[in-house]
Amino acid sequence: MDTMGFDRIAQELPDYRDRLLAVDESIKAQAFDIRFHRGQPVTVCGADGTFFLTGSGATRALTDSLPITSKEEMEALFLQVCGHSVFSHEEEIRQGYIDFGGACRAGICGTAVLEDGRVKAVRDITTLVFRIPRERQGCGDRLFLEAGEELGGVLIAGEPSSGKTTLLRDIARSLSVGKFAPPKRVAVLDQRGEIAGPWDLGPCTDVLRGYPKAQGFDVALRMLSPEVILCDELSPEDFPALQNAAFAGVQIVASVHAAPGELLARPLCRKLLRTGAFSRIVTLAGRARPGEIARIQRLEELA
C-alpha cells in the first residue's frame, strides 16, 4: 500500500507525527487529506470516508473523548508550517494556501483582510488542510494507448481529490522519457509546487515553479522552446496566454475542476473548449478512484 505521501506529511508535523504515523496503513493508503479544525478533532478524509484521529490511531466514531485542536495549538501549527515566517508566505496565504516541505501544500481558512476589494492577508486561522501528494506511475497509459503518438491538446476534467495532479505528473514523465513515442520537451507550469515536488519527471522536463500561469506560458514560449506545456487548474485569466501557446504550435495538457457529466454545464469549461487549445477531453473516475481515467473523448464527440 502507498502510504509514503501520508507519512511525509506526518514527518513535517512533529507535534502530531507519532499520532499520525500510528494510523492504520489501510487508512493512510486511501486518504487524500488531513484536516485540522480549531476546537475540533483532527480528521483524515479519503475514499473510504472520514476518520477521526485518536491518541493511537483513527476511528470512525465521533465521541467527546477525542483530542481536539485548541486555539493555541492551531496558532502554533500555522507558524510551524510557515517556517515561523508568515511574511515570506504572504502571497501564498492571500491565495489560500501555504507551500511547505517540498511537495506539500496546506490549504487555509480564516478571516480575510481586504484592501480595495482584494485579499491583503488572512487572520484568525481556523482550519488547515494538508493535501497528500501521491505518485501513480502508469495511470496515464490509457491516454497514450488510445491517442497514439500525437496527443494534441488534452483537457483533464475531474472533481476535487479525483487525482488530476497525479495524472498530470504521470503524463509529464511519460512524454519526457519517451514511454510511448520519442521524448518530447515538456514545460511544467507548477505555480503551487504540487506537480513536480520531489518526483523525477524525466530528462526533458523543465519546471517553472511559482510563476503565475500567464507569465509562465510567456517564459516557456520565449526561453524553453517546449513541444508540450503542462499545467493544472486553469482560470479565465490564463486564456490569452493559453491561446498564444496553442497558436504557436505547442500542445497543451491542462486540468480543470468539473465533476463527471458537468463539463459542458460550466461556463469556464465551455470557454476553454472554444479556445482551440484542446482536441481531447479526459474525464476522471472521481474521488473513490483517484488518478483513474473514466473516459477519453475527442472534442467533436461532446454533445
Mean of pLDDT values over 108-115: 90
List residues bridging with 38 in a β-sheet: 69
Given phi > 0 = left and psi -120 to 50 = alpha, else beta, which region is 49? Answer: left
Residue 135 CA: distances (Å) to CA of 90, 143, 157, 210, 302: 29, 17, 19, 21, 30
In a domain, 136, yes or no: no
Mean of pLDDT values over 200-229: 94
From 73, 105, 131, the end of a domain falls on: 131
287 shares a domain with 190: yes
Range of the domain at 95: 4-131
The predicted pLDDT at position 256 comes to 92
The percentage of residues in the chain with a pLDDT greater than 70, rounded to a whole number, is 98
154 shares a domain with 43: no
41 shares a domain with 147: no
289 shares a domain with 199: yes
What pTM does this model have?
0.84
Q: Compute the distance between CA of residue 90 and CA of residue 84 in angstroms, rounded to an integer.
A: 12
Which CATH number do you get for residue 75?
3.30.450
85 shares a domain with 17: yes
In a domain, 92, yes or no: yes
230 shares a domain with 125: no
- Residue position matching grid coordinates 517546449: 226
In a domain, 221, yes or no: yes
The predicted pLDDT at position 236 comes to 85
Q: What are the tens digits of pLDDT across the range 76-94?
A: 999 999 988 888 888 888 8
182 shares a domain with 86: no
293 shares a domain with 188: yes
Q: What are the tens digits of pLDDT across the range 234-289?
A: 888 888 999 999 999 999 999 998 887 788 888 888 888 888 899 999 999 988 88
From 102, 131, 160, the end of a domain falls on: 131
291 shares a domain with 267: yes
Number of domains in the chain: 2
Model confidence at 303, in pLDDT bands (50, 70, 90)?
Answer: low
Q: What are the tens digits of pLDDT across the range 280-299?
A: 999 999 888 888 999 999 98
Q: Compute the distance between CA of residue 98 and CA of residue 64 in angstroms, rounded to an integer.
A: 31
208 shares a domain with 159: yes
From 131, 159, 191, the end of a domain falls on: 131
Which CATH number do you get for residue 229?
3.40.50.300
45 shares a domain with 188: no
197 shares a domain with 99: no
Residue 53 CA: distances (Å) to CA of 16, 43, 101, 151: 10, 6, 22, 44
Q: What are the tens digits of pLDDT across the range 131-178?
A: 988 888 999 999 999 987 778 899 999 998 899 999 999 999 999 999
